[in-house]
Amino acid sequence: MIAVVGHPDLSESTLDLVEKELCSRLAGLARAGRAGLVRAGKGLPVAFGRAARKAGLALVTVLPTRNGAPGPLAEPDRKAAGELLLLSEQVRLAEYDPKDRGACVSMDENLLRDCARAYAIWDGSPSNGRDATAHLVAYARSHGVDVEVIWPRGATHGPACRKP
């Protein structure tokens, strides 16, 4: 499995750059029979999902559950999850609260443990109270996951308004 982690506040133009870069990197892995794994959400998960499908990679999307039933997502994440479901060959349900940052970070750690490779869309900045990318990169590496950092020339932070 291949996962993606990264900044939650990537600009629209950066998401386009990242999607193109991921598509080229994932093509060879698709031929090797790998699958992509992503937690449902707006921005980077959708860019990864689109790139995975364009590259011919199977996609697995993880949705939150509450007591065994699909849990609610915030409106922008709900629309993005709809697109990811259409792109996915498989859906996994996992018990976590998408409104709880700590629960999301724990879920990302769980997903990374199931992966052999992760792409980190990361500018090298440290984790803070909102962005856990540096933590997730260190976590993946400490668990033997091969991490490739991607930060395309011209990448910026900003509002991501990508429409599904």
pLDDT digits (tens, 9 = 90+) for 2-15: 999 999 999 999 99
CA distance 97 to 100: 5
Question: Which residues lie below 8 Å from residue 83, measured CB to CB, with a gap of 6+?
Answer: 46, 49, 164
Per-residue model confidence as pLDDT tens digits over 104-136:
999 999 999 999 999 999 999 998 888 999 999
Range with the poorest average pLDDT among 82-91, 120-129, 152-161: 152-161
| Nearest alpha-carbon partner for 82 in 163, 28, 1 | 163
Q: How many residues does the chain have?
A: 164
**Which pLDDT score, from 0 to 100, does residue 28 have?**
84
What would the pLDDT profile of 12-37 be if each residue is shown by its tens digit?
A: 999 999 999 999 999 888 778 889 99
CA-to-CA separations, 102 to 66, 81, 129, 135, in angstroms, rounded: 16, 20, 10, 12
Q: Mean pLDDT over residues 39-53, rounded?
A: 96
What's the whole-model pTM score?
Answer: 0.91
Structure tokens at 58: 């199977």
